[in-house]
Structure 1
Amino acid sequence: MKLSLIVPCYNEKPNLPRLLERFRTVVGSRPDVEVILVDNGSTDGSAEVFAEELAKPQNRFARMVRVPVNRGYGFGITSGLRAVRGEFLGWTHADLQTDPNDLMVGFDKLQAEPDAEHCFLRGRRIGRNFFDALFTGGMSLVASAALGTWLNDINAQPKMFHRSFFESLTTPPDDFALDLYVLYSAKKAGLKVIELPVVFAKREAGEAKGGGSLRGKYKLTKRTFRYILALRRGLSLNPIPVKARAVVHGRGD
Protein backbone atom coordinates (compact mmCIF):
# COMPACT_ATOMS: atom_id res chain seq x y z
CA MET A 1 0.00 0.00 0.00
CA LYS A 2 1.48 3.33 -1.08
CA LEU A 3 -0.92 5.91 0.39
CA SER A 4 -3.36 5.88 3.32
CA LEU A 5 -5.85 8.75 3.59
CA ILE A 6 -7.58 9.49 6.89
CA VAL A 7 -10.98 11.21 6.98
CA PRO A 8 -12.32 11.98 10.48
CA CYS A 9 -16.12 11.94 10.60
CA TYR A 10 -18.01 13.30 13.59
CA ASN A 11 -21.78 13.52 13.09
CA GLU A 12 -21.40 13.67 9.31
CA LYS A 13 -24.29 11.31 8.47
CA PRO A 14 -25.70 13.46 5.62
CA ASN A 15 -22.28 13.67 3.96
CA LEU A 16 -21.18 10.03 4.12
CA PRO A 17 -22.74 8.61 0.90
CA ARG A 18 -21.60 11.64 -1.09
CA LEU A 19 -18.16 11.49 0.50
CA LEU A 20 -17.65 7.87 -0.52
CA GLU A 21 -18.95 8.59 -4.01
CA ARG A 22 -16.43 11.43 -4.44
CA PHE A 23 -13.54 9.31 -3.21
CA ARG A 24 -14.65 6.38 -5.36
CA THR A 25 -14.28 8.46 -8.53
CA VAL A 26 -10.76 9.46 -7.48
CA VAL A 27 -9.21 6.38 -5.85
CA GLY A 28 -11.73 3.57 -6.28
CA SER A 29 -9.70 1.81 -8.98
CA ARG A 30 -6.29 2.31 -7.36
CA PRO A 31 -5.03 -0.70 -5.37
CA ASP A 32 -2.18 1.39 -3.94
CA VAL A 33 -4.49 3.83 -2.09
CA GLU A 34 -6.76 3.19 0.90
CA VAL A 35 -9.24 5.53 2.54
CA ILE A 36 -9.80 5.17 6.29
CA LEU A 37 -12.98 6.80 7.55
CA VAL A 38 -12.94 7.44 11.29
CA ASP A 39 -16.33 7.32 12.99
CA ASN A 40 -15.16 9.68 15.71
CA GLY A 41 -17.76 8.94 18.37
CA SER A 42 -20.70 10.08 16.23
CA THR A 43 -24.15 10.23 17.86
CA ASP A 44 -26.27 11.04 14.78
CA GLY A 45 -26.80 7.52 13.43
CA SER A 46 -23.64 7.53 11.30
CA ALA A 47 -22.87 3.93 12.32
CA GLU A 48 -25.80 2.58 10.30
CA VAL A 49 -24.77 4.56 7.22
CA PHE A 50 -21.17 3.36 7.55
CA ALA A 51 -22.35 -0.25 7.78
CA GLU A 52 -24.60 0.10 4.71
CA GLU A 53 -22.10 1.99 2.55
CA LEU A 54 -19.00 -0.05 3.39
CA ALA A 55 -20.85 -3.30 2.62
CA LYS A 56 -21.13 -2.23 -1.03
CA PRO A 57 -18.53 -3.86 -3.33
CA GLN A 58 -17.78 -0.55 -5.05
CA ASN A 59 -16.62 0.91 -1.71
CA ARG A 60 -14.00 -1.73 -0.94
CA PHE A 61 -11.29 0.92 -1.29
CA ALA A 62 -12.44 2.25 2.11
CA ARG A 63 -12.56 0.91 5.64
CA MET A 64 -13.66 2.34 8.94
CA VAL A 65 -12.07 2.91 12.33
CA ARG A 66 -14.58 3.42 15.13
CA VAL A 67 -13.84 5.56 18.16
CA PRO A 68 -16.60 4.71 20.67
CA VAL A 69 -16.63 8.07 22.47
CA ASN A 70 -15.54 11.34 20.89
CA ARG A 71 -12.30 12.64 22.41
CA GLY A 72 -11.60 15.31 19.81
CA TYR A 73 -10.58 15.91 16.22
CA GLY A 74 -6.92 15.11 16.82
CA PHE A 75 -7.70 11.87 18.63
CA GLY A 76 -9.87 10.73 15.72
CA ILE A 77 -7.14 11.41 13.18
CA THR A 78 -4.39 9.71 15.17
CA SER A 79 -6.68 6.72 15.75
CA GLY A 80 -6.94 6.39 11.98
CA LEU A 81 -3.21 6.92 11.48
CA ARG A 82 -2.44 4.05 13.83
CA ALA A 83 -4.45 1.70 11.60
CA VAL A 84 -2.76 2.55 8.28
CA ARG A 85 -1.03 0.21 5.84
CA GLY A 86 0.49 2.84 3.58
CA GLU A 87 4.00 4.19 3.22
CA PHE A 88 2.71 7.77 2.94
CA LEU A 89 -0.10 9.13 5.10
CA GLY A 90 -2.48 12.04 4.83
CA TRP A 91 -5.72 13.47 6.09
CA THR A 92 -8.52 15.75 5.03
CA HIS A 93 -12.00 16.62 6.31
CA ALA A 94 -15.32 14.86 5.72
CA ASP A 95 -17.24 18.06 4.96
CA LEU A 96 -16.19 18.00 1.27
CA GLN A 97 -14.86 21.55 1.46
CA THR A 98 -11.60 20.13 0.12
CA ASP A 99 -11.94 18.23 -3.17
CA PRO A 100 -10.73 14.60 -2.79
CA ASN A 101 -8.98 14.99 -6.12
CA ASP A 102 -6.67 17.54 -4.46
CA LEU A 103 -5.23 14.74 -2.36
CA MET A 104 -4.09 12.83 -5.43
CA VAL A 105 -2.71 16.02 -7.00
CA GLY A 106 -0.84 16.59 -3.75
CA PHE A 107 0.43 13.02 -3.65
CA ASP A 108 1.78 13.32 -7.20
CA LYS A 109 3.49 16.56 -6.19
CA LEU A 110 4.99 14.91 -3.12
CA GLN A 111 6.16 11.87 -5.10
CA ALA A 112 7.89 14.15 -7.61
CA GLU A 113 10.25 15.34 -4.87
CA PRO A 114 13.70 13.66 -5.00
CA ASP A 115 13.54 13.08 -1.23
CA ALA A 116 9.82 12.66 -0.61
CA GLU A 117 10.40 10.84 2.68
CA HIS A 118 11.69 14.09 4.17
CA CYS A 119 8.91 16.34 2.85
CA PHE A 120 5.65 17.56 4.38
CA LEU A 121 2.83 18.60 2.06
CA ARG A 122 0.02 20.86 3.22
CA GLY A 123 -2.82 22.72 1.59
CA ARG A 124 -2.90 26.49 1.19
CA ARG A 125 -6.42 27.82 0.78
CA ILE A 126 -7.10 30.26 -2.05
CA GLY A 127 -10.16 32.28 -3.08
CA ARG A 128 -11.42 32.74 0.49
CA ASN A 129 -13.57 35.61 1.71
CA PHE A 130 -11.88 38.62 3.30
CA PHE A 131 -12.87 37.86 6.90
CA ASP A 132 -11.72 34.23 6.84
CA ALA A 133 -8.44 35.18 5.14
CA LEU A 134 -7.87 37.94 7.72
CA PHE A 135 -8.56 35.55 10.60
CA THR A 136 -6.18 32.93 9.19
CA GLY A 137 -3.50 35.53 8.49
CA GLY A 138 -3.70 36.86 12.04
CA MET A 139 -3.41 33.37 13.51
CA SER A 140 -0.44 32.63 11.26
CA LEU A 141 1.38 35.82 12.31
CA VAL A 142 0.85 35.19 16.03
CA ALA A 143 1.91 31.54 15.83
CA SER A 144 4.96 32.34 13.69
CA ALA A 145 6.13 35.17 15.96
CA ALA A 146 5.64 33.10 19.12
CA LEU A 147 7.31 29.93 17.83
CA GLY A 148 10.08 31.46 15.75
CA THR A 149 9.26 29.83 12.41
CA TRP A 150 6.87 30.66 9.57
CA LEU A 151 3.56 28.79 10.05
CA ASN A 152 1.08 29.82 7.38
CA ASP A 153 -2.57 28.68 7.01
CA ILE A 154 -2.13 26.18 9.84
CA ASN A 155 -5.51 24.46 9.59
CA ALA A 156 -5.61 24.05 5.80
CA GLN A 157 -6.11 20.60 4.31
CA PRO A 158 -4.79 18.24 3.16
CA LYS A 159 -1.76 17.24 5.23
CA MET A 160 0.51 14.52 3.80
CA PHE A 161 3.85 12.99 4.84
CA HIS A 162 5.88 9.78 5.13
CA ARG A 163 4.86 7.37 7.90
CA SER A 164 8.28 7.71 9.53
CA PHE A 165 7.38 11.31 10.40
CA PHE A 166 4.18 10.21 12.13
CA GLU A 167 6.09 7.51 14.01
CA SER A 168 8.48 10.19 15.30
CA LEU A 169 5.66 12.18 16.94
CA THR A 170 5.41 11.61 20.68
CA THR A 171 2.36 13.36 22.15
CA PRO A 172 -0.02 14.72 19.50
CA PRO A 173 -2.95 16.66 21.00
CA ASP A 174 -6.49 15.31 21.01
CA ASP A 175 -8.13 18.37 19.49
CA PHE A 176 -7.82 20.89 16.65
CA ALA A 177 -4.33 21.84 17.86
CA LEU A 178 -3.13 18.74 15.99
CA ASP A 179 -2.75 20.77 12.78
CA LEU A 180 -0.44 23.23 14.53
CA TYR A 181 1.46 20.43 16.25
CA VAL A 182 2.28 18.49 13.07
CA LEU A 183 3.22 21.57 11.05
CA TYR A 184 5.45 22.89 13.82
CA SER A 185 6.97 19.42 14.32
CA ALA A 186 7.69 19.14 10.59
CA LYS A 187 9.47 22.50 10.60
CA LYS A 188 11.46 21.56 13.72
CA ALA A 189 12.45 18.24 12.12
CA GLY A 190 13.80 20.07 9.09
CA LEU A 191 11.32 18.62 6.61
CA LYS A 192 10.78 20.47 3.36
CA VAL A 193 7.28 21.98 3.51
CA ILE A 194 5.46 21.88 0.17
CA GLU A 195 2.35 23.98 -0.41
CA LEU A 196 -0.60 22.82 -2.47
CA PRO A 197 -3.04 25.59 -3.49
CA VAL A 198 -6.61 24.38 -2.85
CA VAL A 199 -10.01 25.96 -3.33
CA PHE A 200 -11.94 25.74 -0.06
CA ALA A 201 -15.60 25.24 -0.99
CA LYS A 202 -18.68 25.81 1.14
CA ARG A 203 -19.88 22.94 3.35
CA GLU A 204 -22.62 21.06 1.49
CA ALA A 205 -24.37 19.48 4.50
CA GLY A 206 -24.05 19.05 8.25
CA GLU A 207 -22.64 21.39 10.86
CA ALA A 208 -19.12 22.86 11.05
CA LYS A 209 -17.07 21.47 13.95
CA GLY A 210 -14.05 23.80 13.89
CA GLY A 211 -13.73 27.46 12.94
CA GLY A 212 -16.67 27.69 10.57
CA SER A 213 -18.69 30.02 12.83
CA LEU A 214 -17.82 33.02 15.02
CA ARG A 215 -18.24 30.84 18.12
CA GLY A 216 -16.08 28.17 16.54
CA LYS A 217 -13.40 30.71 15.64
CA TYR A 218 -13.36 31.98 19.22
CA LYS A 219 -12.93 28.48 20.65
CA LEU A 220 -10.29 27.61 18.06
CA THR A 221 -8.37 30.82 18.75
CA LYS A 222 -8.46 30.33 22.51
CA ARG A 223 -7.24 26.74 22.27
CA THR A 224 -4.57 27.61 19.70
CA PHE A 225 -3.12 30.36 21.89
CA ARG A 226 -2.97 27.98 24.85
CA TYR A 227 -1.21 25.39 22.72
CA ILE A 228 1.26 27.95 21.35
CA LEU A 229 2.24 28.80 24.91
CA ALA A 230 2.65 25.10 25.68
CA LEU A 231 4.92 24.64 22.66
CA ARG A 232 6.98 27.64 23.71
CA ARG A 233 7.52 26.01 27.08
CA GLY A 234 8.56 22.79 25.36
CA LEU A 235 5.47 20.99 26.65
CA SER A 236 2.55 19.24 24.98
CA LEU A 237 -1.02 18.87 26.12
CA ASN A 238 -3.25 15.80 26.15
CA PRO A 239 -0.73 13.01 25.49
CA ILE A 240 -2.15 10.03 23.61
CA PRO A 241 -1.16 6.45 24.47
CA VAL A 242 0.67 4.49 21.81
CA LYS A 243 -2.37 2.30 21.12
CA ALA A 244 -5.58 4.31 20.75
CA ARG A 245 -8.80 2.59 21.72
CA ALA A 246 -10.39 2.23 18.32
CA VAL A 247 -12.05 -0.59 16.40
CA VAL A 248 -11.19 -1.14 12.73
CA HIS A 249 -13.80 -2.29 10.19
CA GLY A 250 -13.47 -2.90 6.48
CA ARG A 251 -11.31 -4.95 4.15
CA GLY A 252 -9.95 -8.01 5.85
CA ASP A 253 -12.67 -8.14 8.57
Structure 2
Amino acid sequence: MSINFSLVLPCYNEEENISLLYKEFSEIPLDQYRAELILVNNGSADGTQKEIEKIIKNNKKNNIDVVILNLKKNQGYGGGIAEGLKIAKGDYIGWAHADLQTPLIDFFELFNLIKNQKEILGKGFRTNNRGFDGIVSRCHESLASLILGYRMREINAQPKIFSRDLMKYFTQIPRNWTVLDTYITYVCLKRKIKIETIDVVFKTRIYGHSKWKNNFFNFLNHIIFNLLYLFKLRFTKI
Protein backbone atom coordinates (compact mmCIF):
# COMPACT_ATOMS: atom_id res chain seq x y z
CA MET A 1 0.00 0.00 0.00
CA SER A 2 1.44 3.35 -1.04
CA ILE A 3 1.93 6.15 1.47
CA ASN A 4 -0.57 8.95 1.01
CA PHE A 5 1.28 11.62 2.95
CA SER A 6 4.48 12.17 4.91
CA LEU A 7 4.82 14.60 7.80
CA VAL A 8 8.34 15.77 8.66
CA LEU A 9 8.96 17.02 12.19
CA PRO A 10 12.42 18.53 12.88
CA CYS A 11 13.34 17.72 16.49
CA TYR A 12 16.08 19.49 18.41
CA ASN A 13 16.19 18.58 22.10
CA GLU A 14 12.51 17.63 22.13
CA GLU A 15 12.70 14.44 24.23
CA GLU A 16 9.79 15.51 26.44
CA ASN A 17 7.55 16.07 23.42
CA ILE A 18 8.22 12.92 21.36
CA SER A 19 5.74 10.54 23.00
CA LEU A 20 3.05 13.25 23.01
CA LEU A 21 3.70 13.96 19.32
CA TYR A 22 3.26 10.30 18.45
CA LYS A 23 0.10 10.01 20.55
CA GLU A 24 -1.40 13.05 18.84
CA PHE A 25 -0.47 11.78 15.37
CA SER A 26 -1.73 8.25 16.06
CA GLU A 27 -5.15 9.63 17.03
CA ILE A 28 -5.72 11.17 13.59
CA PRO A 29 -8.67 9.30 11.95
CA LEU A 30 -6.75 8.11 8.89
CA ASP A 31 -9.38 5.51 7.85
CA GLN A 32 -8.27 4.22 4.43
CA TYR A 33 -5.14 6.36 4.25
CA ARG A 34 -1.55 5.42 5.04
CA ALA A 35 0.77 7.99 6.63
CA GLU A 36 4.47 8.38 7.29
CA LEU A 37 5.78 10.26 10.32
CA ILE A 38 9.42 11.31 9.86
CA LEU A 39 11.09 12.46 13.05
CA VAL A 40 14.36 14.24 12.27
CA ASN A 41 16.71 14.11 15.25
CA ASN A 42 18.48 17.33 14.33
CA GLY A 43 21.70 17.08 16.33
CA SER A 44 19.93 16.82 19.69
CA ALA A 45 22.03 16.66 22.85
CA ASP A 46 19.33 15.13 25.06
CA GLY A 47 17.37 11.86 24.89
CA THR A 48 15.43 12.69 21.72
CA GLN A 49 16.90 9.76 19.77
CA LYS A 50 16.04 7.23 22.48
CA GLU A 51 12.48 8.50 22.72
CA ILE A 52 12.00 8.24 18.95
CA GLU A 53 13.43 4.72 18.87
CA LYS A 54 11.07 3.79 21.69
CA ILE A 55 7.94 4.83 19.82
CA ILE A 56 9.15 3.10 16.64
CA LYS A 57 9.55 -0.12 18.61
CA ASN A 58 6.12 0.22 20.22
CA ASN A 59 4.22 1.47 17.17
CA LYS A 60 1.22 -0.80 16.63
CA LYS A 61 -0.51 1.26 13.97
CA ASN A 62 -0.57 -0.64 10.66
CA ASN A 63 -1.32 2.49 8.65
CA ILE A 64 1.41 4.65 10.22
CA ASP A 65 5.10 4.26 9.42
CA VAL A 66 7.36 6.01 11.93
CA VAL A 67 10.83 6.83 10.62
CA ILE A 68 13.84 8.31 12.41
CA LEU A 69 16.49 10.35 10.62
CA ASN A 70 19.53 11.02 12.80
CA LEU A 71 21.64 14.05 11.93
CA LYS A 72 24.83 14.14 14.00
CA LYS A 73 25.18 17.90 13.62
CA ASN A 74 22.30 20.33 13.83
CA GLN A 75 21.40 21.37 10.28
CA GLY A 76 19.22 24.30 11.23
CA TYR A 77 15.45 24.48 10.96
CA GLY A 78 15.42 24.48 7.16
CA GLY A 79 18.19 21.91 6.91
CA GLY A 80 16.43 19.44 9.18
CA ILE A 81 13.23 19.70 7.18
CA ALA A 82 15.08 19.50 3.85
CA GLU A 83 16.78 16.25 4.90
CA GLY A 84 13.45 14.83 6.00
CA LEU A 85 11.78 15.75 2.71
CA LYS A 86 14.54 13.91 0.83
CA ILE A 87 13.53 10.56 2.32
CA ALA A 88 9.76 11.15 2.42
CA LYS A 89 7.81 8.50 0.51
CA GLY A 90 4.35 10.06 0.57
CA ASP A 91 2.45 11.34 -2.44
CA TYR A 92 2.01 14.54 -0.42
CA ILE A 93 4.75 15.82 1.86
CA GLY A 94 5.21 18.63 4.32
CA TRP A 95 6.18 19.67 7.81
CA ALA A 96 5.16 21.20 11.10
CA HIS A 97 6.88 22.10 14.36
CA ALA A 98 7.75 19.38 16.89
CA ASP A 99 7.04 21.54 19.94
CA LEU A 100 3.32 20.67 20.14
CA GLN A 101 2.28 24.23 19.24
CA THR A 102 0.86 23.05 15.92
CA PRO A 103 -2.11 20.63 16.18
CA LEU A 104 -1.15 17.71 13.93
CA ILE A 105 -4.77 17.12 12.95
CA ASP A 106 -4.42 20.35 10.93
CA PHE A 107 -1.94 18.57 8.65
CA PHE A 108 -4.53 15.89 7.88
CA GLU A 109 -7.19 18.54 7.28
CA LEU A 110 -4.91 20.24 4.75
CA PHE A 111 -4.19 16.89 3.09
CA ASN A 112 -7.92 16.33 2.60
CA LEU A 113 -8.23 19.86 1.22
CA ILE A 114 -5.54 19.52 -1.47
CA LYS A 115 -5.48 15.77 -2.25
CA ASN A 116 -5.85 14.93 -5.95
CA GLN A 117 -4.36 18.33 -6.85
CA LYS A 118 -0.76 18.73 -7.98
CA GLU A 119 0.07 22.43 -8.39
CA ILE A 120 -1.01 23.53 -4.93
CA LEU A 121 0.38 24.43 -1.50
CA GLY A 122 -1.66 23.91 1.65
CA LYS A 123 -0.76 25.93 4.74
CA GLY A 124 -2.07 27.07 8.08
CA PHE A 125 -3.25 30.60 8.83
CA ARG A 126 -2.95 31.51 12.52
CA THR A 127 -6.02 33.23 13.93
CA ASN A 128 -5.24 33.62 17.63
CA ASN A 129 -3.56 36.59 19.30
CA ARG A 130 0.08 35.62 19.92
CA GLY A 131 1.21 38.85 21.59
CA PHE A 132 4.80 39.87 20.85
CA ASP A 133 5.31 36.91 18.50
CA GLY A 134 2.39 38.15 16.44
CA ILE A 135 3.90 41.64 16.20
CA VAL A 136 7.21 40.18 14.98
CA SER A 137 5.32 38.11 12.38
CA ARG A 138 3.40 41.16 11.10
CA CYS A 139 6.66 43.10 10.73
CA HIS A 140 8.24 40.23 8.81
CA GLU A 141 5.20 39.92 6.55
CA SER A 142 5.23 43.65 5.78
CA LEU A 143 8.94 43.65 4.92
CA ALA A 144 8.62 40.48 2.85
CA SER A 145 5.67 41.89 0.91
CA LEU A 146 7.51 45.15 0.24
CA ILE A 147 10.84 43.59 -0.77
CA LEU A 148 9.55 40.56 -2.69
CA GLY A 149 6.65 42.30 -4.40
CA TYR A 150 3.89 39.90 -3.35
CA ARG A 151 1.36 40.13 -0.56
CA MET A 152 2.57 37.60 1.99
CA ARG A 153 0.54 36.78 5.10
CA GLU A 154 1.16 34.29 7.89
CA ILE A 155 4.36 33.17 6.16
CA ASN A 156 5.64 31.00 9.00
CA ALA A 157 2.30 29.48 9.95
CA GLN A 158 2.25 25.70 10.15
CA PRO A 159 1.63 23.15 8.89
CA LYS A 160 2.60 23.12 5.22
CA ILE A 161 1.87 20.34 2.72
CA PHE A 162 2.13 19.93 -1.04
CA SER A 163 2.33 17.30 -3.77
CA ARG A 164 5.82 15.84 -4.01
CA ASP A 165 5.72 16.98 -7.66
CA LEU A 166 6.39 20.53 -6.44
CA MET A 167 9.83 19.54 -5.15
CA LYS A 168 11.16 20.12 -8.68
CA TYR A 169 10.62 23.85 -8.09
CA PHE A 170 12.22 23.97 -4.64
CA THR A 171 15.83 23.69 -5.78
CA GLN A 172 17.38 26.23 -3.42
CA ILE A 173 15.91 25.35 -0.03
CA PRO A 174 17.64 27.48 2.64
CA ARG A 175 19.06 25.38 5.44
CA ASN A 176 19.72 28.01 8.09
CA TRP A 177 17.40 29.75 10.51
CA THR A 178 13.70 30.02 9.71
CA VAL A 179 13.58 31.39 6.17
CA LEU A 180 12.43 28.09 4.64
CA ASP A 181 8.77 29.09 4.89
CA THR A 182 9.49 32.43 3.22
CA TYR A 183 11.27 30.67 0.36
CA ILE A 184 8.53 28.09 -0.22
CA THR A 185 5.77 30.71 -0.14
CA TYR A 186 7.66 33.04 -2.48
CA VAL A 187 8.37 30.29 -5.03
CA CYS A 188 4.69 29.35 -5.10
CA LEU A 189 3.58 32.96 -5.56
CA LYS A 190 6.22 33.57 -8.22
CA ARG A 191 5.16 30.47 -10.17
CA LYS A 192 1.46 31.23 -9.67
CA ILE A 193 0.93 28.00 -7.75
CA LYS A 194 -2.38 27.96 -5.92
CA ILE A 195 -2.19 28.40 -2.14
CA GLU A 196 -5.01 27.09 0.06
CA THR A 197 -5.18 27.90 3.77
CA ILE A 198 -7.07 26.72 6.82
CA ASP A 199 -7.47 28.61 10.08
CA VAL A 200 -5.24 27.24 12.83
CA VAL A 201 -4.65 28.07 16.48
CA PHE A 202 -1.02 28.21 17.57
CA LYS A 203 -0.85 26.67 21.04
CA THR A 204 1.46 27.52 23.92
CA ARG A 205 4.57 25.36 24.18
CA ILE A 206 4.34 22.82 27.03
CA TYR A 207 7.95 21.67 27.24
CA GLY A 208 11.25 23.22 26.21
CA HIS A 209 11.74 26.75 24.93
CA SER A 210 12.28 28.69 21.73
CA LYS A 211 15.75 28.27 20.26
CA TRP A 212 16.01 31.97 19.36
CA LYS A 213 13.53 34.36 20.96
CA ASN A 214 14.59 33.82 24.59
CA ASN A 215 18.07 35.19 23.89
CA PHE A 216 18.31 38.83 22.78
CA PHE A 217 21.52 38.28 20.78
CA ASN A 218 20.02 35.30 18.95
CA PHE A 219 16.80 37.24 18.39
CA LEU A 220 18.68 40.19 16.88
CA ASN A 221 20.69 37.85 14.64
CA HIS A 222 17.44 36.22 13.57
CA ILE A 223 15.92 39.55 12.54
CA ILE A 224 19.02 40.71 10.64
CA PHE A 225 19.45 37.36 8.89
CA ASN A 226 15.81 37.33 7.78
CA LEU A 227 16.06 40.86 6.41
CA LEU A 228 19.23 40.12 4.44
CA TYR A 229 17.71 36.90 3.11
CA LEU A 230 14.70 38.78 1.75
CA PHE A 231 16.98 40.94 -0.42
CA LYS A 232 18.93 37.88 -1.52
CA LEU A 233 15.73 36.04 -2.43
CA ARG A 234 14.41 39.06 -4.35
CA PHE A 235 17.32 38.78 -6.79
CA THR A 236 17.45 34.99 -6.95
CA LYS A 237 16.31 33.33 -10.15
CA ILE A 238 13.34 31.10 -9.34
What TM-score do the two structures reach when normalised by structure 1? Answer: 0.85
Unaligned runs of 5+ in 2: none
Please give the residue correspondences for 1:179-190 in structure 2 after superposition, counting only pairs within 5 Å: 179-190=181-192
**Hey, what's the Cα distance between the residues in 2 that align with 1:22 and 1:46?**
17
| 1:67 and 2:68 aligned | no
CA RMSD of aligned residues (A): 2.0
Please give the residue correspondences for 1:232-243 in structure 2 after superposition, counting only pairs within 5 Å: 232-234=234-236
User: Do the aligned partners of residues 172 and 202 (structure 1) sit closer, same or farther apart at CA in structure 2, a change above 3 Å counting?
Assistant: same
**Hey, what's the Cα distance between the residues in 1 that align with 2:69 and 2:236?**
31
User: Do the aligned partners of residues 214 and 46 (structure 1) sit closer, same or farther apart at CA in structure 2, a change above 3 Å counting?
Assistant: same
User: How many residues end up aligned between the 2 structures?
Assistant: 233
Deviations 1:16-75 (A, max 9, x none): 111111111116766521111111111112111122221113265311111111121111
Q: Percent identity?
A: 30
Please give the residue correspondences for 1:198-213 in structure 2 after superposition, counting only pairs within 5 Å: 198-211=200-213
Please give the residue correspondences for 1:112-131 in structure 2 after superposition, counting only pairs within 5 Å: 116-131=117-132
Deviates more, 1:52-61 or 1:194-203: 52-61
Hey, what does 1:56 align to over in structure 2? Answer: 58
Moved segments of 4+, more than 6 Å: none
**Hey, what's the Cα distance between the residues in 2 that align with 1:18 and 1:28?**
18
Cα pair 1:4 1:84 within 8 Å, conserved: yes
Hey, what does 1:171 align to over in structure 2? Answer: 172
Deviations 1:70-91 (A, max 9, x none): 1211110010000011111110
Unaligned runs of 5+ in 1: 237-253
Structure 2 residue identity aligned to 1:84 = A
Deviates more, 1:129-138 or 1:49-58: 129-138
Hey, what does 2:40 align to over in structure 1? Answer: 38
Cα pair 2:124 2:199 within 8 Å, conserved: yes
Cα pair 2:53 2:68 within 8 Å, conserved: no
What TM-score do the two structures reach when normalised by structure 2? Answer: 0.90
Hey, what does 1:101 align to over in structure 2? Answer: 105
